[in-house]
A and B are shown apart, each in its own frame.
Chain A
Amino acid sequence: MSTRTAFSPGTVPLRGAAPTDLQARALRDLGRTGRWRPAEALFWLAALASFFFLPDQHLLLTEVVILGLFALSLDLVLGYAGIVSLGHGAFFGLGAYVAGLVSIHLTGEPLTGLLLGGLAAGVLGFATAPLLLLRASDLTRLMVTLGIAMLLYEAANKAAWLTGGADGLQGVWIDPLFGRFEFDLFGTTAYGYALAVTFLLFLIARRIVTSPYGLSLRAIRDNALRANTIGVPVGRRLVAIYTLSALYAGIAGALLAQTTMFVSLDVLAFHRSADVLLVLVLGGVGYLYGGLIGAIVFKLLQDVFSTITPEYWMFWIGLVLVVIVLIGRDRINAAPLALWHRIRGGAK
């Protein structure tokens, strides 16, 4: 089959020749999503700067970064494959518990726990992915994923001999990173660690979503029927991305367990799954930064509002959400871009 060609070469030059204008244009379009934009560099530089210039905020920032990574993991399935999940907390929580248990029973070395936490979540993702392939509506997927997460929560509650039940897992202790950097009270090591892991995972995710595989995911999200008829193995691709997403969520959970050195049932609770969906939708779906930006906005709002009013901060968050939707997320998301274009236009 591969020996047949649909067309004899026509007006367009053969491969191997120097790229023509047309080829260059086509290649540019194909590589479009993979090219780094100035705003992206700016974003990560700002993240790096926060490590050096905001030492007082490292603890909060660690939480932001972990939530951001968790939301990024959800973006992989929601934004790139169109699968909604209200049970992503299952993977986050499993990663957290595994990382915690590894530190107690195996080794306090952080990277081992991180990896095992991620792997365990990935395995769970792989095992439960077929449930998502049911011919079902978004609502059904939402509830099946939620059901799985709730079962895991109850299981962790029941298995108190292993998990500590409702009291939480006691005795988590993480050794210094690379044997050198102790996890200090200021949260500096923790923030650097979480930030580096998140950046690395982001790079990998970015590479993946701009690859042919990523393109096929976008095709599935856009039109699964057509993707099927051009020979994309839809089921396998979805299982793969769901597994990867679960692994990411597990690593986010492991990061939380390691940086706080504590795991409680909260990591599996319903609000974990709901919050991450909220954060991702808030930041915008399908461009990888949505989760990170949503996490920053959400956590900062929460921190500011709850400092002003520890009792009623939720009201103001709610109001912000309602207003954002009423104004339109598109318009808000477009605003920084428009501003950027104006700045660049003005500079020329």
Chain B
Amino acid sequence: MSAALRTIALEKRFGGLVATNKVDFTLEHGARHALIGPNGAGKTTFVNLLTGVLPATAGQVLLDGEDVTRLSQQRRARRGLGRTFQINQLFPAMTPVESVGLAVSERMGGGADFWRSLGARRDIIGEVLDLLERFRLIDVMDHPTARLAYGKQRLLELAVALAGNPRVLLLDEPAAGVPEAERRELLDTLAALPSDVSILLIEHDMDLVFSFADRITVLVNGTHFAEGTPGDVMKDPRVREVYLGEEEHA
């Protein structure tokens, strides 16, 4: 059985600069996998290659064994690759119900329906409410997104991604900027994500990484540097030198 997500010798160059250097990477089904690395290690570029924001210079991206290297963002999304963003990418003028409702209806192929209002779509409402409940957004579900507290916006970011019913979910620093008071809520929700979704977490926060991930990949200078269980990685002296050491000084 093929992996949930795999890259083979994935490469990205900007002119002479190598941002991603022949990375081989595997995300197993149902994995809780973290991708770490110092600033400028090329994590964001790597995620952008996975999701199709950037075209790869060489190499392949396989989603459930299927080559998606040449597919657009939107087609990869339709094939079950979801993501959240380091900086909130929400629809400020829409409410959580609308945002999640749209994502659900797009997934079900109802996005091109230009006649019936979503308000008449009883069939999706159960799922929408379920998601909102799960991400603790019920209370604010009919408030404009722009006016939500930051922590709630982070949760909505997750809810919208989940609404697309992804098989693989890339979480790009989900805890970034969340104030301490709202942090607990976020961690709980992350822990409760459905187990059949394979998750790649890109994160700086080591507490979160170690509490969440069962496997860690370290990226340095665009190169696959090390990989293993949290215990292995923590013990790896090279990793401590380039990353954790640096982190302690910071």
Give A residues with C-beta under 8 Å from B: 1-2, 4-7, 9-15, 19, 22-23, 25-34, 207-208, 210-216, 218-219, 222-223, 225-234, 237
Listed A/B pairs (14) with beta-carbon separation below 8 Å: A6-B127, A10-B134, A15-B123, A27-B122, A27-B125, A30-B118, A34-B117, A215-B98, A226-B89, A228-B74, A229-B77, A230-B164, A231-B77, A231-B107
Q: Which of A7, A33, A213 contacts B112 (CB 8 A)?
A: A213
Q: Is the CB of A30 within 8 A of B121?
A: yes
Count of interface residues, chain B, beta-carbon cutoff 8 Å? 66
For A9, what are the chain B residues with a Cβ–Cβ distance below 8 Å? 126, 130
Task: Tell me the complex Cα distance, A331–B80, Å.
Answer: 45
Alpha-carbon gap, A15 to B83, bound state (A)? 27
Interface set of B (CB-CB < 8 Å, partner A): 51, 53, 72-74, 77-80, 82-83, 85, 89-95, 97-99, 101-103, 105-108, 110-123, 125-134, 138, 141-142, 160-165, 167, 194, 196-197
What separation, in Å, do the CA atoms of A4 and B51 have in the docked complex?
21
Partner of A25, one of B78, B92, B121, B141: B141
Cβ–Cβ contact A10 & B133, under 8 A = yes
Interface pair A212/B142, CB less than 8 Å apart: no
Q: Is the CB of A29 within 8 A of B97?
A: yes
10 A-B pairs besides A26-B142, A216-B111, A223-B90 with CB distance below 8 A are A11-B133, A15-B126, A29-B119, A222-B93, A223-B92, A226-B89, A229-B89, A229-B161, A230-B163, A231-B74
Docked complex Cα distance between A54 and B102 (Å): 44
Cα-based distance from A14 to B161 in the complex (angstroms): 22
The complex places the Cα of A223 from the Cα of B123 at a distance, in Å, of 26
With contacts A1-B80, A29-B95 taken as known, whether A22 is within 8 angstroms of B121 at the C-beta atoms is no
A213-B85 in contact given A31-B119, A34-B117 (Cβ < 8 Å)? no
A228 CB contacts on chain B under 8 angstroms: 72-74, 77
B-side contacts of A29, CB under 8 Å = 95, 97-98, 119, 141-142
B96 → A minimal CB distance (Å) = 9
State A303–B114 Cα separation when bound (angstroms).
38
Mostly, the A contact residues are: helix
Question: How distant is the Cα of A335 from the Cα of B120 in the complex, in angstroms?
Answer: 32
Contacts A14-B126, A226-B160, A229-B73: A211 and B97 contacting too (C-beta < 8 A)? no
For A218, what are the chain B residues with a Cβ–Cβ distance below 8 Å?
Answer: 91, 93-94
- Do residues A30 and B113 form an inter-chain contact, with CB atoms below 8 A? no
Is there contact, CB below 8 Å, between B111 and A212? yes
B241–chain A nearest beta-carbon distance, Å: 36
Chain B: which residue is nearest A209 at the CB level? B114
> Chain B CB within 10 Å — which of A10, A19, A23, A222 has the most?
A222
* Residues in A whose Cβ lies below 8 Å from that of B53: 225
Contact A30 B101 (CB under 8 A): yes
- Indicate if the CB atoms of B165 and A5 lie closer than 8 Å: yes
Partner of A211, one of B89, B92, B113: B113
Complex Cα distance, B188 from A211, in Å, reads 35
Shortest Cβ gap from B249 to chain A (Å): 35
The residues of A that contact B167 with a CB separation of less than 8 Å are 1, 4
CA distance A188 to B102 in the complex (A): 44
CA distance A215 to B164 in the complex (A): 16
- Taking a contact as CB atoms closer than 8 A, the residue among B121, B138, B142, B194 that contacts A6 in the complex is B194
Which B residues lie within 8 Å of A233 (CB)? 74, 111
